[in-house]
Each structure stands twice: as structure tokens, then as C-alpha cells.
């Protein structure tokens, strides 16, 4: 029997087949899936902000740098090898636009860049992504196939 493991905002979860991972409400947040297809293990994180170095309040799972590090550490305890890890991500929308907006307010874009940088640092290839726009996303990750199902309001569904 497969179970859908729900990942909340500023959290991550690890799953194994036949289970699936899901997170909803990705606006400027990023949903990142890191997986080992051979061992059929994956982690999904729902990241809210780019860096724990800028803001030190709250859970370390809010931030791209600290959340990905924690998730990778737990995945390694389950036997995954960095050599086989791959990633996919979605989210990073610009949900609101303001006149004269500074780059600091472009949280979605900054989140996507931060996740990409953390994956590069860890040597994990980013196979595909669906980021940007001005709409929210819900994502479901199939650990068995490595398919990331993305559902959007008024923009349909796709699989990457």
C-alpha cells in the first residue's frame, strides 16, 4: 500500500517506494526533491527563504542552505550515495509585484538560485525544474520513477 507523505512549509520528509512525497502551496517557496533511484529513496523539502545567514530566526528548515544540508544528512543515514543523487525543483513564483521593486523582494527568484547553488555545492545534478511565473504550485514526487508531477491553478498540469 502506498502512502502520500505530506511535506509542510519549512519542513522536509524522507520517503521510500512505494510511497510518494507531496507539498502544496508553493508560491515564492521552492519544493526540491533529491532522490536515489537505485535505492528508491527520496527527500522533499519545502523551502521558504534563501539563506539562514541573512535571517537567523526560526526553524533551520525554512532556509535553502540549512534545510538541504539536514535532509542530505538524513538521507545518507539511509544509505544513499552522493554519486547517485539527482534533483528536481518547482516553485519560486513572484506572487506580488510592486512598483520600483528591489532585488531583495524577489524572494522566489532568490530561492530558486539558492537551491540551485546548494545542489551544485553538494555535487547533485538538477535534472529539471519549473520555476518562476506568478502562480502557485502543488507538487507530487513519485519515488519509484523520479517523476515530479506539478499542478497549477489555471496553468494546468505537467510532469518533469
29 is catalytic: yes
pLDDT band at 56 (very low <50, low <70, confident <90, very high): low
Q: Summarize pLDDT for 17-50 with one digit per residue, the tens.
A: 999 999 999 999 999 999 999 999 999 999 999 9
What's the CA angle centered on 7, arms 66 and 16, to 5 degrees?
95
Residue with the three cell numbers 502551496:
25
CATH number of the domain bearing residue 37: 3.30.1330.200
pLDDT at 101: 54
pLDDT band at 99 (very low <50, low <70, confident <90, very high): low
CB atoms within 10 A of CB 158: 13
The length of the chain in residues reads: 160
Mean pLDDT of 70-75: 97
Q: For the chain, what is the mean pLDDT?
A: 92
Q: Domain containing 34: what range?
A: 4-159
Mean pLDDT of 87-102: 77
Residue 98 has pLDDT above 60, yes or no: no
Query: In whole angstroms, what is the distance from residue 142 CA to residue 64 CA?
Result: 22
Provide, rounded to the nearest whole percent, the portion of the chain with pLDDT above 90. 81
Residue with the three cell numbers 524577489:
106
Q: How many domains, the chain?
A: 1
Which of 21, 29, 45, 124 is flagged as catalytic? 29
Mean pLDDT of 111-116: 97
Radius of gyration of the chain from Cα atoms? 15
Amino acid at each position: 500500500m502506498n502512502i502520500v507523505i505530506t511535506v509542510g512549509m519549512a519542513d522536509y520528509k524522507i520517503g521510500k517506494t512505494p510511497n510518494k512525497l507531496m507539498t502544496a502551496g508553493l508560491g515564492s517557496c521552492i519544493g526540491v526533491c533529491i532522490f536515489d533511484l537505485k535505492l528508491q529513496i527520496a527527500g522533499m523539502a519545502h523551502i521558504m527563504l534563501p539563506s539562514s545567514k541573512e535571517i537567523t530566526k526560526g526553524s533551520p528548515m525554512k532556509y535553502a542552505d540549512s534545510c538541504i544540508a539536514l535532509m542530505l544528512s538524513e538521507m545518507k543515514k539511509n544509505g544513499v550515495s552522493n554519486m547517485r543523487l539527482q534533483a528536481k525543483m518547482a516553485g519560486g513564483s513572484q506572487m506580488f509585484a510592486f512598483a520600483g521593486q528591489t532585488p531583495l523582494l524577489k524572494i522566489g527568484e532568490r530561492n530558486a538560485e539558492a537551491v540551485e547553488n546548494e545542489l551544485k555545492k553538494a555535487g547533485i545534478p538538477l535534472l529539471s525544474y519549473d520555476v518562476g511565473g506568478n502562480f502557485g504550485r502543488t507538487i507530487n514526487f513519485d519515488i519509484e520513477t523520479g517523476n515530479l508531477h506539478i499542478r497549477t491553478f489555471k496553468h494546468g498540469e505537467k510532469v518533469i
